[in-house]
């Protein structure tokens, strides 16, 4: 069978995306309400920072605007998993009902076919809020805006996104072996709330967990250091792109291994 290239998959993806968006836009009230809900959720996070820093001028050397930078950075880096990989939440029900078998007979990559079926458009509201927060904090901190800085932040935002995507892929894939896998996926999702904080504010135990076991520190903290603390960048920051790619590849292999071993179920 002829190997299909990137151009083929991009063409197929945009066709699937167009159909999915048309389907969602037919229920405009639901789209508007869910998008507003996403925006207000992020506003609540913004307000919580403001309330916290009214009492404390800084937290272990991190100022209000630096914390906002991490918050905005985390929102942007989490957008791809929100928009492009939201179908992972339905994987468990497809597997247990037997409907997942329909994905196994298409002559295209199984992972691509399943994930591309859903695009969570309300995640774009999160992206817009994240960009606004990042730009605001960037300006308040007084960071330079040079082509090199823009390149750095783009590279490390992609790196951070790969980490969260990998965590969700691996957690979702446990449904191929574990019946109550929803709790694993939900746990991985809830850990993202800690990504907006610098790992240095936690105890050494949690710092180890958030760096090596549940590596959410790579979603915002380590990548952001190359912008916020350029004179004191740890080796883990420079290794972030490699770690992100490696984690994504391993999660993809885990997901595909489970999917290819799937034999179908249901009544």
**Is 28 inside any structural domain?**
yes
**Is 266 inside any structural domain?**
no
pLDDT at residue 52, rounded to an integer: 73
Residue-range definition of the domain harbouring residue 154 = 6-260
pLDDT at residue 265, rounded to an integer: 54
Least confident range of 3-7, 74-78, 163-167: 3-7
**Is 1 inside any structural domain?**
no
**Is 31 inside any structural domain?**
yes
**Is 13 inside any structural domain?**
yes
Buried b (16+ CB within 10 A) or exposed e, 114-141: bbbebbbbbbebbbbbbeebbeebbeee
List, for residues 140-163, the tens digit of each pLDDT value: 999 988 999 999 999 999 999 999
pLDDT at residue 193, rounded to an integer: 84
- Overall pTM > 0.85: yes
- Total domain count for the chain? 1
Distance CA(175)–CA(93), nearest Å, equals 9
Distance CA(157)–CA(74), nearest Å, equals 8
Least confident range of 26-35, 231-240, 242-251: 26-35
| pLDDT(202) > 60 | yes
* Cβ–Cβ under 8 Å, residues 196 and 179: no
**Is 73 inside any structural domain?**
yes
List, for residues 237-252, the tens digit of each pLDDT value: 999 999 999 999 999 9
| pLDDT(266) > 50 | no
pLDDT at residue 267, rounded to an integer: 36
Distance CA(123)–CA(100), nearest Å, equals 25
**Is 11 inside any structural domain?**
yes
* Cβ–Cβ under 8 Å, residues 240 and 155: no
List, for residues 42-71, the tens digit of each pLDDT value: 777 778 777 777 777 777 888 888 988 999
| pLDDT(33) > 80 | no
**Is 265 inside any structural domain?**
no
* Cβ–Cβ under 8 Å, residues 217 and 211: yes
């Amino acid at each position: 069978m002829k190997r299909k290239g990137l151009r083929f998959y991009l063409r197929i993806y945009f066709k699937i995306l167009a159909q999915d968006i048309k389907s969602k836009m037919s229920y405009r009230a639901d789209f508007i309400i869910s998008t507003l809900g996403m925006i207000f959720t992020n506003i609540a996070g913004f307000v919580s920072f403001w309330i916290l820093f009214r009492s404390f001028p800084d937290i272990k050397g991190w100022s209000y605007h630096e914390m906002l930078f991490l918050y905005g950075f985390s929102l942007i880096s989490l957008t791809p998993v929100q928009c492009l990989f939201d179908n992972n939440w339905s994987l468990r029900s497809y597997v247990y009902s037997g409907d997942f078998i329909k994905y196994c007979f298409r002559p295209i990559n199984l992972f691509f076919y399943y994930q591309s079926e859903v695009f969570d458009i309300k995640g774009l509201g999160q992206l817009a809020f994240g960009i606004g927060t990042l730009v605001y904090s960037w300006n308040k901190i007084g960071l330079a805006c040079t082509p090199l800085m823009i390149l750095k932040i783009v590279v490390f935002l992609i790196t951070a996104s790969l980490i969260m995507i990998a965590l969700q892929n691996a957690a979702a894939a446990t449904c191929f072996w574990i019946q109550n896998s929803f709790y694993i996926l939900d746990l991985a999702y809830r850990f993202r709330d800690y990504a907006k904080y610098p790992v240095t504010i936690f105890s050494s135990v949690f710092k180890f967990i958030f760096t090596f076991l549940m590596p959410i520190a790579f979603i915002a903290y380590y990548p952001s250091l190359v912008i916020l603390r350029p004179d004191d960048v740890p080796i883990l920051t420079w290794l972030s792109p490699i770690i992100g790619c490696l984690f994504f590849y391993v999660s993809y292999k885990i997901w595909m291994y489970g999917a290819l071993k799937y034999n179908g179920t249901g009544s």
